Amino acid sequence: MSNISPPRKRRKEARPSELSAAALDLFVEKGFAATRLEDVAQRAGVSKGTLYLYFDSKEALFKSVIEDGVVPVLVEGEEIASRHEGSAFELLEKLLANWWAGIGETSFAGIPKLMTAESRNFPELAQFYYENVIRRGRAQVASALERGIASGEFRKLDIETTIDVVIAPILMLVIWRYSMACCQGTQVDPQQYMAVHLTLLREGLKRTQV
Amino acid sequence: MSNISPPRKRRKEARPSELSAAALDLFVEKGFAATRLEDVAQRAGVSKGTLYLYFDSKEALFKSVIEDGVVPVLVEGEEIASRHEGSAFELLEKLLANWWAGIGETSFAGIPKLMTAESRNFPELAQFYYENVIRRGRAQVASALERGIASGEFRKLDIETTIDVVIAPILMLVIWRYSMACCQGTQVDPQQYMAVHLTLLREGLKRTQV
DNA sequence: TAACTTAATGACTGATTGGTCATTAAGTTA
DNA sequence: TAACTTAATGACCAATCAGTCATTAAGTTA
């Protein structure tokens, strides 16, 4: 098969998301500066000029990729937290499972690695991401921890620090997949990983009976 | 004070490490592609041509920054593991503390973030880092977990997965510091963070008494 | 079906930066 | 102290790539 590009086709409605998806893939893999717009265009099946019909600049494309992303998953988590009636640990479990299903197993999964890599280069975008993604996710975990401590289900721990320790393995799981996982012979099984994490949490968080 | 550069000074012996230190700072902050050699030279107090007296290329400089780094800390950990006589949990605690003191509180602390960001762009270097840093660190944690499970101190868990979950918060702590921490109003206290992590681990790893 | 609108193209321009090297200046040697 | 060696310099060159725009081609309209 030759490398003849497909004939031109107008797709005004679909283009933005096609371009964003292509850009996300390459930004996640290579980082912002090392990604060439020629490659993004090729990945999307268009020419480079087409990118500038829909995005003002490379940076505008990058920002849209981050901004049009994971917020709906956070909204779902907020709903789960607001109507939960079981134990605090069950809530925590549901929140982490929802986060995993909505981000960890979707095309958004590369965003944590991308934000990790680029936050110092794009502080305003990092701020946006922090306010709209990280802070909201933390608040959900906080609500589960607060409930558990209040009811005596969980031991007393500093909540802000415990959120960090609870979330870290989940973040690391997706970040790892898009960075160092290529060097590892085996693949991490997310179900098993989550099971171990939850097991350690369940026992670790329990308030010690006197 | 004017911007007159300091007079030229020959420092053949000290130059390589000075250049590497300057490069590490900027590579960690901006990533490989977004770092300009002009800036590295300026940070080191030299001109750009000086970089090429000691390093063949930008990529050679980058590789040296990773390769001449954290391996001695891994050696120390291996020694700690080989001569430990207390409980398995005490071993684990010592290993994590040693890792923190040797990496987390030194100028090498940025390397995990840098490798996270650049591993897909430099797969051979990522392989080197995996073999010489990550694998060895994991082996140390594995030795503590194996001891604990064998002696009945710890519950039975899949060791490879548990290593991931044990290490993730430590990695995330340093990665976070060099990426998203700028957006967070408060700073994470590493001592408290480690204390919470170890508390959750101590209880989470315990084998349940029947 | 011709005239028109508009999405797409990719050659081109200008800015940027890695890498080079003729020159300069700091030390060393005789 | 002059001759020599060598570490350092920064202007320069060539390659690269973001962004532009005249042109082309896909649809739409009258």
Is pLDDT at A122 greater than 80 in this prediction?
yes
pLDDT at A61: 97
C1' of nucleotide D27: residue with nearest CA: A10
- The β-bridge partners of B165 are none
Residue written as token pair 């700028």: B182
The ipTM assigned to this model is: 0.92
Q: Which residues of B144-170 are buried (b: 16+ CB within 10 A; e: fewer)?
A: bbebbbeeebbbebebbbbbbbbbbbb
Helices (H) then strands (E): counts for chain A:
11, 0
Residue B34 and residue A33: Cβ atoms within 8 Å?
yes
How far is residue A100's CA from residue A77's CA, in Å, rounded to a whole number? 11
How far is residue A130's CA from residue A123's CA, in Å, rounded to a whole number? 10
Q: Most distant CA pair in chain B: distance in Å?
A: 75
Tally of residues, chain A? 210
What percent of chain A is modeled with pLDDT above 70?
96
CA distances from A122 to A8, A126, A133, B151 (A): 34, 6, 16, 50
Can you tell me the mean pLDDT for A131-138?
Answer: 94
Residue A118 · residue B31 · CB < 8 Å: yes
Residue B193 and residue A116: Cβ atoms within 8 Å?
no
**DSSP label at A102?**
I
Q: State whether residue B175 is helix, strand or coil.
A: helix
Is the Cβ of B164 closer than 8 Å to some Cβ of chain A? yes
Per-residue confidence band for A179, with pLDDT thresholds at 50, 70 and 90? very high
Is pLDDT at A166 greater than 80 in this prediction?
yes
Residue A179 and residue B33: Cβ atoms within 8 Å?
no
Residue A129 and residue B183: Cβ atoms within 8 Å?
yes
Which residues of chain B are within 8 Å of residue A24 when distances are taken between CB atoms? none
CB of B10 lies under 7 Å from some atom of strand C: yes
Q: Give me the domains of chain A, ranges plus CATH numbers.
A: 15-64 (1.10.10.60), 69-205 (1.10.357.10)
Q: In the complex, which nucleotide's C1' lies nearest to the CA atom of residue B49?
A: D9
CA distances from B135 to A112, A202, B150, B201 (A): 23, 28, 22, 21
Residue A193 and residue B164: Cβ atoms within 8 Å?
yes
Nearest CA in chain B to A201: B204
How far is residue B132's CA from residue B145's CA, in Å, rounded to a whole number? 20
**DSSP label at B32?**
T
Is the Cβ of B59 closer than 8 Å to some Cβ of chain A? no
pLDDT at B1: 40
Distance from CA of A10 to the nearest CA of B (A): 34
How far is residue A121's CA from residue A119's CA, in Å, rounded to a whole number? 5
pLDDT digits (tens, 9 = 90+) for B64-115: 999 887 788 889 999 999 999 999 999 999 999 999 999 999 888 999 999 9
Strand C: which positions are within 7 A of a protein CB?
6-11, 16-22, 25-27
Residue A77 · residue A136 · CB < 8 Å: yes
How far is residue B46's CA from residue B63's CA, in Å, rounded to a whole number? 20
pLDDT digits (tens, 9 = 90+) for A40-82: 999 999 999 999 999 999 999 999 999 887 788 889 999 999 9
